[in-house]
Amino acid sequence: MAKVITPRSEDYSRWYTDVVTQSQMADYSPVKGCMVIRPLGYSVWEGMQRELDARFKETGHQNAYFPLFIPESYLHKEAKHVEGFAPECAVVTHGGGKKLEEPLVVRPTSETIIYAMYAKWIRSYRDLPVLINQWANVVRWEMRTRLFLRTTEFLWQEGHTAHATEAEAEDEALRILEIYRRFVEDHMATPVYTGLKTESEKFAGALRTYCIEALMPDGKALQAGTSHNLGQNFSKAFEVKFQTQEGDWAHVWQTSWGVSTRLIGALVMEHGDDNGLSLPPRLAPVQVVIVPIWKTDEEKRRIAEVARLAVEELKGAFRVQADLRDEVSPGWKFNEWELKGVPLRLEIGPKDLEKDQFLAVRRTDRKKTPVPRGALVARTGALLEEIQSEMLEKARAFLRQNTRDATDYTAFKKALDEVGGFFRAHWCGSPECERRIKDETKATIRCIPLEGNREEGRCLICGARSARWVYLARAY
């Protein structure tokens, strides 16, 4: 607590690292590229898991667990897939004191090992659809790492489904994209653009990759989740076949999809400020903290008792705790709980006691509201909902204000450098124009929106006629 968070306006990157480490969300580990997720960060992840897992199960998915290790040869079965992932792999060459006959790759993603099992399990149309999800750790070797956003090891979920028809697989990929979009908006209070990745940006081995893209306060986009329609690319490579109702043999149609602990990084950036974290109530491990203020022993006795009763009253409905420590001052406690992002603080001092009330202080804007003790549960609930929806509204306004139309390439480059954000621009569809934007501006096509972009225009780069616009941005 003696340390000070670097102001965001001074150094965005240091601000981010300061918030993550000083709030004790996470820490650097002695292993290069690997992080430690501390209890506060992990409990945010548990909240995300709880919500997403419920949505996956509601839509018929089941969890399972597949091996951490993948024989190197498996990665090679799908040509594009190995090209994309082989350079990032950690390789186990020795086990039990001996050199292995075939090296094992630590999973960077599990398509290959999972589909080898599907080839064994799936025989008939009656076995379909297979709707399996896995919560797991994965490893992708990274040179430049950032806590949560880019680490060699990270935690994620990866869904892997197999279907009898192409249409079913496409529906599944879009159903999951919608689950992701709603979770990120409803719980993380983070609005996103949804759409399709270009050919050059899609998942290695996919037919089509759908994604959700958020905008961070520094004007950079962040890919928050992807859902892939894999077509029959993997089912052909791994011979995942089934007998149809008509008695023929066919390859299954597949999807895979995932979100990771990277979401925690997005959450920190989206809502944090120079005082630290600011967590949306629905994902805050502690939603309400009660901080008593006393001077005399008699005040302490009475106020501590009221605080304890309030915890009892609130804990059925909210994640609440009282900070009754003696060794630190109320002001110190205010700072600490603000740093840790608790959305609502209930202060109670001698004057509040007299008035039979708490003083509620919102983390987001420090706005104060007296809350009568008799209406504690109802008012706390209303305040938390208000905070949750205002956080989303604020983020929505930011996204709207920082999404601009780009029709002139020079003006676009200037705006990109000066203000960042998303740019709606026409693109002719050629890989050449896409590459030129990336090479010249470091911005990429984040996604091709699924609807509403079918107007006529001119490609931002080459001026050719274009029938659609796309979202451009620099990205994490």
The residues binding a second copy (CB under 8 A) are: 27, 29-31, 34-39, 41-43, 45-46, 62-71, 74, 86-97, 103-104, 106, 113, 116-117, 120-121, 126, 132, 136-137, 139, 141-143, 152-153, 155, 327
* Rg, the chain, Cα only: 25
Instruction: Give whichever of 155 and 206 is closer to a second copy, judged by the CB atom.
Output: 155
Backbone torsions φ then ψ of 417, nearest 5 degrees: -70, -40
Q: For residues 30 and 452, which CB has a smaller minimum distance to a second copy in the complex?
A: 30
- Smallest distance from the beta carbon of 299 to a second copy, in angstroms? 24
Q: Give dist(CA 269, CA 41) in Å, integer.
A: 14
Taking the complex as a whole, how short is the minimal distance between the CB of residue 113 and a second copy, in angstroms? Answer: 7
Is residue 454 within 8 A of residue 468, CB to CB? The reply is yes
Distance between CA atoms of residues 335 and 345, nearest Å: 11
- State which residue, 43 or 441, has the beta carbon closest to a second copy: 43
Give the residue with the Cβ less far from a second copy, 117 or 437: 117
Contact 475, 218 (CB under 8 A): no
User: In Å, what is the CA distance from 437 to each residue of 218, 440, 441, 460?
Assistant: 20, 5, 6, 9
Question: In whole angstroms, what is the distance from residue 261 CA to residue 245 CA?
Answer: 41
**Separation of alpha carbons 389 and 282, rounded Å:** 10
Which stretches does DSSP call E strand in 349-468? 357-362, 368-372, 403-406, 422-426, 444-449, 457-458, 465-466
DSSP 33: T
CB closer to a second copy out of 64 and 411: 64
Smallest gap, in angstroms, from Cβ of residue 35 to a second copy? 7
* Nearer to a second copy (CB atom), residue 99 or residue 454: 99
Q: Given the DSSP bridges, would you call strands 208-215 and 193-196 parallel, antiparallel or unpaired?
A: antiparallel
Least Cα distance to 23 among 9, 48, 3 occurs for 3
**CA 195 from centroid of its chain's CA atoms:** 16
> Mind giving me the DSSP string for 125-161?
GGG--EEEEEEEEEE---SS-BTTTB-SEEEEEEEEE
- DSSP-derived pairing of the beta strands 422-426 and 469-473: antiparallel
- Torsional sign, CA 258, 261, 265, 267: positive
Name the minimum Å distance from CB 186 to a second copy. 24
Min dist CB 243 to a second copy, Å, is 14
Least gap, CB of 440 to a second copy (angstroms): 28
Q: Rounded to the nearest whole angstrom, what is the least distance from the CB of residue 185 to a second copy in the complex?
A: 26
Least separation in angstroms between CB 40 and a second copy: 9
Report the 10 Å Cβ neighbour count for 199. 12
Cβ closest to a second copy, residue 153 vs residue 434: 153
* 145's tokens: 């790492």
What's 37's DSSP letter?
Answer: E
Between the alpha carbon of residue 186 and those of residues 189, 194, 336, the distances in Å are 6, 15, 27
Residue 287 in contact with residue 344, Cβ under 8 Å?
yes
Minimum distance, C-beta of residue 474 to a second copy, in the bound complex (Å): 24
Q: Are 102 and 73 in contact (CB under 8 A)?
A: yes
Nearest approach, Cβ of 143 to a second copy (angstroms)?
A: 7
Closest to a second copy by CB, 103 or 330: 103
Measured from the CB atom, the residue of 113 and 353 that comes closer to a second copy is 113
Nearer to a second copy, 57 or 367 (CB): 57
Structure tokens at 23: 């709030």
CB of 70 to a second copy, least distance (A): 7
Q: For 331-367, b where at least 16 C-beta lie within 10 A, e where not — what string?
A: eebbebbbbbbbbbbbbbbeebbeeebbbbbbbbeee
Question: Residue 333 or 446: which CB sits closer to a second copy?
Answer: 333
